Amino acid sequence: MQSLKSTWAGFWKYRYLLQNLINRDFKLKYRRSVLGVAWSVLNPLLTCLVMWAVFGALFNARGQGIEDFPLFLIIGQLVFNFFRESTTMAMESVLKNGPLLRKVYIPKYIFPLEKCCFALVNFAFSLVALLLVALITLSHISLRTVLLAVYPIAMLFVFSLGIGLILSTLYVFVRDIMHIWEVFCTLLVYGSAIFYDPTQMEGWMQSVINLNPIYWYITSVRSCVMWGRGLTVNMLLVPFVCAALSLGLGVYVFRKNQDKFVLYM
């Protein structure tokens, strides 16, 4: 209990630093860009357009079309991109701020946390793309349950933070982690049901996909935003358990190794 209180006190003390780091990253991301923050909307829109043209035509030709496929697609795309962006940026965060950490004392967990917060802000802006797709394609959004999507998104944030803490620790000691993670995320795209419905697959493939936490976060958001079903018991428990395990393991690995970071920077 005392450790939790001291951790919270330290976090509260450096809350303004966290805000400033998020503002800095946001300005750097769109510096010298003509369209600026509009790219947070245009990037997912253009990607969705390409994937819709390819996979929509493919599934329709096979008679496996998905209702409101553009909305189905962009939800999966946005949720997955949030996970990939937050974990990838968090992985590099500690090492990139090595010169600063050698000069002044700053809680090292601030940097992975800030990257996940920045990815969440970027995700919030990209939701405009979701609304545009729904309006352009006249797709149905369930207003009755849409706010329930906050829960799986919050759980995904916690899950991503835990993974980010682990990756940022490993990256300090082994630089190859960056390349391994890029390959893993590429493979994960095909196992997260972003552009296909896993119920149309064979039984064993459905079982494998169900083991992927990202699939549960994506499906939970779709259930709230598209299908109006709200959250089932599994959609409540699985995201929570995955988030809790990820954060617990991430905090343990990070705290156990953070004192060694300075030796490898």
Residue range 91-147, pLDDT digits in tens: 999 998 888 888 878 888 899 999 999 999 999 988 998 999 889 888 888 888 999
pLDDT band of 84, cuts 50, 70, 90: very high
C-alpha to C-alpha distance for 115 and 204, rounded to whole angstroms: 36
pLDDT at 10: 63
Decide if pLDDT at 189 tops 80: yes
pLDDT band of 35, cuts 50, 70, 90: low
Phi-psi region of 106 (alpha: psi -120 to 50; beta: other; left: phi over 0): beta
pLDDT at 2: 46
C-alpha to C-alpha distance for 82 and 32, rounded to whole angstroms: 24
Tokens of residue 166, six digits: 């682990």
pTM of the model as a whole: 0.90
Residues 42-63: pLDDT tens digits? 788 888 788 777 776 666 655 5
- Among the ranges given (12-16, 112-116, 196-200, 233-237), the one the predictor scored with the smallest mean pLDDT: 12-16
C-alpha to C-alpha distance for 112 and 254, rounded to whole angstroms: 10
Which residue did the predictor score with more confidence, 15 or 163?
163
Q: What is the mean pLDDT of residues 189-214?
A: 84
Decide if pLDDT at 1 tops 60: no
Q: Tell which residue, 112, 127, 207, has the closest CA to residue 162.
A: 112
pLDDT at 9: 62
Q: Tell which residue, 43, 244, 39, 27, has the closest CA to residue 157.
A: 244
pLDDT at 198: 82
pLDDT at 217: 97
Percent of the chain with pLDDT over 90: 46
C-alpha to C-alpha distance for 221 and 126, rounded to whole angstroms: 15
Q: What is the mean pLDDT of residues 237-256?
A: 95
Tokens of residue 8, six digits: 């919270």
Percent of the chain with pLDDT over 70: 88
Decide if pLDDT at 4 tops 60: no
C-alpha to C-alpha distance for 89 and 191, rounded to whole angstroms: 22
Q: Is 114 helix (H, G, I), strand (E, B) or coil?
A: helix
Decide if pLDDT at 253 tops 90: yes
Q: Is 212 helix (H, G, I), strand (E, B) or coil?
A: coil
Give the contacts of 57 (CB within 8 A, at least 6 positions apart): none
Q: List the chain domain ranges.
A: 38-263
Q: CA 147, 152, 158 angle in degrees (round to 5)? A: 130
Taking all residues of the chain, what is their mean pLDDT, rounded to a whole number? 86
